[in-house]
Amino acid sequence: MDQNATNQIVVAAFYKFADLPDFAQYQGQLQDVAGQNQVSGTILLAHEGVNGTIAGPRDGIDRVIATIKTLPGCETLEWKESFTDKNPFHRLKVRLKKEIVTMGVQNIEPHKSYEQYVEPSDWNSVISDPETLVIDTRNDYEVSIGTFKGAINPETNSFRDFPAWFRKFREKNDIKKVAMFCTGGIRCEKSTAFLRSEGVDNVVHLKGGILKYLETVPEDKSLWDGECFVFDQRVSVGHDLAPGSYDQCFACRRPITENDKTSPLYVEGISCPVCFDEHSEDRKIAFAERQKQIKLAKERGEKHIGITRVQKNTTSESTDFPGLKIDWDERDL
């Protein structure tokens, strides 16, 4: 641990596929441990495992992580840490879900997919095999700013669309070997379980996702092209996880360039060249009011707190991006 970060807030992002048929019984335990240790954020529990991002003091994060590791099958939980001066979350939520990342397919076993991972150091050789089909399991707006050379973009708007895309794709293509990847590992790990349930045995995924690859593989040996979209204040990152060049439209959460912001279709917090015709006038009025409140809060030196539970409890307001709703079924950790 960086000794300079001792007094900072620790932000921990994690997921673990595990067989948790009685997952609801752990909700109260996690709420109590986090509450007693000044830890906030969101934790999802489902029959297939746990997924979340939490923030708090060093000791508090350690206690929550230690508690999660006592859950059946979670002993080998891994997590990513970053540090900040202020807690990015206002409260703690431990939610019970049907899935920790929503695909909408029953009777698959993602907790067994760990057996199919490829280390970042071996990834180049795997995807350079001409017989291997390389699939990017992320959403189209993420793929648009960067992907691995030669990877297939399913052009999906949501991870829920992936199964239908694959079944249709398979009807027209001979599949021998498959290698899949996503931002942090959760979507490609679940996609691996799905493909195995569809009878595709020779399928692997990138351990730790794109972020681990960019962190560990030297740029001069990299097969990554572009930047990687991330679900935090950086918006995108490059090699060595250096902050990228993209900003974000708060209305549609897609990445935008500085050139996009010169378009007459771009209005901060309300629309961008991609989403200007996707929202109703009522929605745009609501966006405008939200942006006004954000500006006023900033002028007063305060943090704007937006709606925290909307759309059937699947979204939560990001304090990194005030007013931006983050869908926890899509957020990749």
Residue range 134-190, pLDDT digits in tens = 999 999 999 999 999 999 999 999 999 999 999 999 999 999 999 999 999 999 999
205 within a domain of the structure (yes/no): yes
219 and 262 belong to one structural domain: no
Q: Which of 173, 196, 228 is the last residue before a domain boundary?
A: 228
60 and 122 belong to one structural domain: no
Express each pLDDT in 211-240 by its tens digit: 999 999 999 999 999 999 998 878 999 999
131 and 205 belong to one structural domain: yes
What average pLDDT does this structure show over 76-82?
Answer: 91
178 and 202 belong to one structural domain: yes
Amino acid letter at 300?
A: R
Q: How far apart are CA 132 and CA 173, in angstroms?
A: 12
Active site positions, annotated? 182
Which residues constitute the domain of residue 11? 3-96
pTM of the model: 0.83
Comparison of pLDDT for 43 and 114, the residue scoring more: 43
195 and 119 belong to one structural domain: yes
Q: What is the CATH number of the domain that holds 40?
A: 3.30.70.100
Three-class secondary structure assignment of the chain: CCHHHCCCEEEEEEEEECCCCCHHHHHHHHHHHHHHCCCEEEEEEECCEEEEEEEECHHHHHHHHHHHCCCCCCCCCCEEEEEECCCCCCCEEEEECCCCCCCCCCCCCHHHHHHHEECHHHHHHHHCCCCEEEEECCCHHHHCCEEECCCECCCCCCHHHHHHHHHHHHHHCCCCEEEEECCCCHHHHHHHHHHHHCCCCCEEEECCHHHHHHHHCCHHHCCEEECEECCCCCCEECHHHCECCCEECCCCCCEECCCHHHCCCCECCCECCCCCCCCCHHHHHHHHHHHHHHHHHHHCCCCCCCCCCECCCCEEECCCCCCCEEECCCCCC
Q: Which of 96, 119, 152 is the last residue before a domain boundary?
A: 96
200 and 279 belong to one structural domain: no
Tell me the pLDDT of the chain averaged across its residues.
Answer: 87
Angle at 98 between CA 92 and CA 103, to 5 degrees: 110
Comparison of pLDDT for 95 and 109, the residue scoring more: 95
What average pLDDT does this structure show over 62-83?
Answer: 95
Q: Residue 325: what pLDDT?
A: 36
For the cut 80, the answer to whether the pLDDT of residue 327 exceeds it is: no
102 within a domain of the structure (yes/no): no
Amino acid letter at 59?
A: D
Q: Residue 298: what pLDDT?
A: 73
Give the total number of structural domains in the chain. Answer: 3
Q: Look at phi and psi of residue 105 and say left if phi exceeds 0, alpha if psi is from -120 to 50, else beta.
A: beta
236 within a domain of the structure (yes/no): no
Q: Residue 88: what pLDDT?
A: 84
For the cut 90, the answer to whether the pLDDT of residue 63 exceeds it is: yes
Identify which of 219, 227, 239 has the alpha carbon closest to the alpha carbon of residue 146. Answer: 227
Question: Tokens for 202?
Answer: 């020779």
Express each pLDDT in 268-325 by its tens digit: 999 999 999 998 989 988 988 888 887 887 777 765 554 333 233 333 333 333 333 3
Per-residue burial over 24-53, b = 16 or more CB atoms within 10 Å of its CB, e = otherwise: eebeeebeebbeebebbbbbbbbbbbbbbb
Q: How far apart are CA 284 and CA 286, in angstroms?
A: 5
121 and 211 belong to one structural domain: yes
Identify which of 171, 172, 170, 118 has the alpha carbon closest to the alpha carbon of residue 148. Answer: 118
